[in-house]
């Protein structure tokens, strides 16, 4: 994997699309890669580069597309994944931290300055087959949302607080 530059890797996560995340041992960096087009790491890199101006997110060090695979190299943030045994076995620590963290993301990420869209129209444009939908409900309030707000994408510090998340839409 070119982004790791021959350094030792420790696997940390495999997602449902076959994407893999590795820690680069001793470097304070993580590398993600995917061969599935549903996991667009170039888009993830763009979102992280935008969000870092407003909230603590992993700093993008490099992003690449190689032979149909995409890769992303980021600096580490402090904390552990909410699926780590120490966190996941707790008494609701992860759930409380995720909820509080998402509320803070909604409050800090500026809707007016967000260059990304997750509207019905935008999502339908990505579908490769005709879709019939009823009229979507009117939008009552726009927010910048996390595109994959799940436990594996959440970092929690030793005090049980969310250290923000790894991916934005």
Same domain, 136 and 65: no
Task: For residue 126, give its domain range.
Answer: 80-165
Same domain, 60 and 100: no
Same domain, 55 and 25: yes
Residue entry with tokens 């969000």: 51
How many structural domains does the chain have? 2
Between CA 113 and CA 100 the distance in angstroms is 23
Same domain, 93 and 145: yes
Domain termination residue (choose one: 75, 100, 116): 75
Domain termination residue (choose one: 31, 53, 75): 75
Same domain, 53 and 101: no
Same domain, 16 and 67: yes
* pLDDT at site 166: 42
Same domain, 141 and 120: yes
Same domain, 95 and 70: no
Domain termination residue (choose one: 75, 104, 119): 75
Q: With residue 142 as reference, give the H or E element that holds it.
A: none
Same domain, 88 and 123: yes
Q: Within 13 A of 90's CA, how many CA atoms are on the CB side?
A: 19
Same domain, 47 and 68: yes
Residues sharing a CB contact under 8 Å with residue 73, sequence separation 6 or more, in sequence order: 3, 4, 29, 30, 31, 60, 61, 62, 63
* pLDDT at site 109: 93
Which CATH number does the domain housing residue 9 bear? 3.30.200.20
Through-space distance between the first and last CA atoms of the chain, rounded to whole angstroms: 26
Between CA 97 and CA 59 the distance in angstroms is 21
* pLDDT at site 49: 95
E strand intervals along 28-157: 29-34, 60-66, 69-75, 80-81, 154-156
Between CA 156 and CA 150 the distance in angstroms is 12
Same domain, 86 and 145: yes
* pLDDT at site 30: 95
pLDDT tens, position by position, for the chain (169 residues)?
Answer: 688 889 999 998 888 878 899 999 999 999 999 887 677 888 899 999 999 999 888 999 999 887 778 899 999 988 888 887 666 566 677 888 888 888 888 889 999 999 998 888 888 887 878 888 888 888 888 888 887 788 888 888 777 776 654 444 3
């Amino acid at each position: 994997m070119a982004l790791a530059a021959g350094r030792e890797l420790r696997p940390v996560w495999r997602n449902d699309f076959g994407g893999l995340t590795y820690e680069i041992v001793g470097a304070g960096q993580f590398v993600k890669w995917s061969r599935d087009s549903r996991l667009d790491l170039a888009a993830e890199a763009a979102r992280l580069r935008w969000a870092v101006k407003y909230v603590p997110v992993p700093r993008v060090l490099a992003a690449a597309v190689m032979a149909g695979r995409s890769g992303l190299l980021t600096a580490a943030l402090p904390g552990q994944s909410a699926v780590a045994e120490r966190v996941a076995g707790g008494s609701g620590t992860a759930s409380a931290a995720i909820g509080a963290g998402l509320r803070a993301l909604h409050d800090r990420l500026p809707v007016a300055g967000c260059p990304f869209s997750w509207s019905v129209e935008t999502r339908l444009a990505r579908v490769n087959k005709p879709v019939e939908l009823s009229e979507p409900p009117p939008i009552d309030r726009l927010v910048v949302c996390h595109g994959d707000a799940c436990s594996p994408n959440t970092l929690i510090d030793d005090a049980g607080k969310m250290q923000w998340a790894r991916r934005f839409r």
